[in-house]
Every structure is written in C-alpha cells, then in structure tokens.
C-alpha cells in the first residue's frame, strides 16, 4: 500500500489535526478526537474505535496493519514536521484522529452487583483522565461524568488516562437525569461529602448496586447530590491534611466499595 507523505505544516490535514487537538469546539463539531502514542492508539483500536487517520513519523514502522479495517488512512509525516506538531516528547511516533463514541445515558446498564463511579463537574482534564484510569484499574462497572466542565476527549484527559478511556463504559450526562434513573433503579448513592450527617467511609454500607460520587475539585458536590444521597461519607486524614486529589479519593472509596 502506497502511503501519502506530508512535509508541510500548511497541509490541510495538518491544519485540521491541530484544530482538533487544540479546540474543543472543533472536536464536537467533527465528533473526532486526537490521540498520541502507540499504547493509547492500540487500546483505542482494541476498544473497537474507528480512526479517520493515523499519522506515522517518517522512519517508524506501521504497527497497526492488523487494524487496517478500522483505519481509513495511514499517512507518513516527515520527522521534522512530526516533532513540531507532536504534543509529546520522547520516542512516540504515532498520532491518530479517531471517531468519538456515543456516551449518552441511554447506554447505561445497571448491574445488580455493580459499583459505579460518578464524577461531578470536574474541571481539570488531567483529573478526568486519572479518574478514568482509576475506574478501569479497579474494574468499576461504569464511569459517569456528570455536568462536565471540560471535554471528555481533551488530549490531556486521554493522555492522563493512559488509554483507559477507550476500554470501559463511560457515560456523560447531567445530574438530574442520572439521579432520576438511580432513584428508579434503587441505586445506593454514596457521596463524598463532609457534613453533620457524614460517616467515615469505613463505616458506610456499600449495598449493591451502589454509586460512589465525587465532586468538583474546589467546590465539591452540588446540593442536589447531598439532598439525594443515601449516605454521605468522608475519608479521615492525619498530619493536618484536609484534602486529597479527587482521583486519589475516588480510588480509596471505590476500592472500599468493591471489597465490602
């Protein structure tokens, strides 16, 4: 197969790639995302994602031939140009433009013994990526991003997830719609929230199916969640530490739910 070779930063494909990489609006418009790195692209392909294009740095091997039915076009990029447009340093020589999947609430399947991780209004894409990585590592039955303040397919989110975004059930929706389903399905809602009614996470009842809910990095959870939770829990801390990174807190709480 003869591959197209790109050497100019003025090439329309390079311009489009940069727009997709840098602009959430453009990603939503085209329903596409940008992912860089061999491992991440392999995980996306293994997760049955389809790719519009995969760019290969000049001199690198095409490691994705076995997935050729999922990739519309492979393109060689001259090394000087590739290094200029790449957002990762090091030996990564592959960039893909993939088609986003549908993450609507209609895809949510509640399992009777399931544990779900809910993240409300997370601001930093790196934290979204870390939460997805945590969810995948623990074998959570579904990661649900509610009232998002940043793009699920932000390149930083994808990179921070180490490709975990591609291999698990992920739902994006608003709090009200999700709570309606949770109440109908009788989901045990356990919110990370410190108030007079809160109990240590070690003393909570993780009756399944259950949902662990964590909130915004600075503002925490909306009152809507505290008003509708079955239990509010907190993580006791020592040495005058009063907070944890949201992905760390989520990992502690989710693991407790799984082990209970």
- DSSP H or E run through 119: strand 115-120
What residue spans define the domains of the chain?
Answer: 4-99, 105-259
- DSSP H or E run through 83: helix 79-85
How does pLDDT run across 28-53, given as a tens digit for each residue?
Answer: 999 999 999 999 999 999 999 999 99
Q: Write down the architecture of domain 4-99 according to CATH.
A: 2-Layer Sandwich (3.30)
**217 is written with which tokens?**
């990095």
CB contact set of 80 (below 8 Å; sequence gap of 6+): none
DSSP state of 3: P
Q: Do the Cβ atoms of 103 and 172 come closer than 8 Å?
A: yes
- Compute, in degrees rounded to 10, the torsion defined by CA atoms 242, 247, 248, 252: 110
**pLDDT (tens digit, 0 to 9) for every residue of the chain, 260 residues total?**
557 899 999 999 999 999 999 999 999 999 999 999 999 999 999 999 999 999 999 988 888 888 999 999 999 999 999 999 998 766 579 999 999 999 999 999 999 999 999 999 999 999 999 999 999 999 999 999 999 999 999 999 999 999 999 999 999 999 999 999 999 999 999 999 988 889 999 999 999 999 999 999 999 999 999 999 999 999 999 999 988 999 999 999 999 999 99
What is the Cα–Cα distance from 206 to 190, expressed in whole angstroms? 8
Tell me how far CA of residue 110 lies from CA of 114, 185, 257, in angstroms: 7, 8, 16
CATH hierarchy code of domain 105-259: 3.40.1280.10
């Amino acid at each position: 197969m003869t591959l197209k070779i790109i050497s100019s930063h003025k090439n329309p494909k390079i311009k489009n790639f940069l727009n997709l990489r840098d602009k959430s609006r453009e990603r939503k418009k085209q329903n596409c995302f940008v992912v860089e790195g061999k491992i991440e692209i392999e995980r996306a392909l293994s997760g049955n994602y389809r790719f519009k294009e995969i760019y290969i740095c000049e001199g690198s091997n095409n490691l994705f031939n076995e997935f050729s039915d999922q990739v519309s076009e492979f393109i060689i990029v001259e090394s000087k140009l590739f290094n200029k447009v790449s957002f990762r340093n090091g030996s990564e020589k592959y960039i893909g433009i993939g088609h986003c999947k549908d993450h609507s609430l209609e895809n949510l399947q509640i399992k009777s013994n399931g544990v779900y991780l809910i993240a409300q209004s997370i601001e930093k894409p790196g934290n979204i990526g870390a939460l997805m990585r945590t969810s995948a590592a623990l074998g959570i039955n579904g990661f649900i991003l509610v009232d998002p303040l940043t793009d699920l397919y932000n390149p930083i989110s994808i990179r921070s997830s180490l490709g975990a975004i591609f291999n698990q059930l992920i739902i994006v929706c608003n709090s009200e719609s999700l709570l309606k389903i949770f109440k109908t399905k009788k989901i045990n809602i356990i919110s990370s929230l410190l108030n007079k009614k809160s109990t240590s996470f070690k003393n909570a009842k993780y009756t399944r199916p259950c949902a662990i809910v964590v909130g915004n990095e600075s503002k925490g959870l909306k009152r809507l969640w505290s008003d509708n939770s079955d239990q509010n829990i907190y993580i006791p801390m020592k040495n005058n530490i009063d907070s944890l990174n949201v992905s760390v807190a989520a990992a502690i709480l989710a693991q407790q739910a799984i082990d209970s």
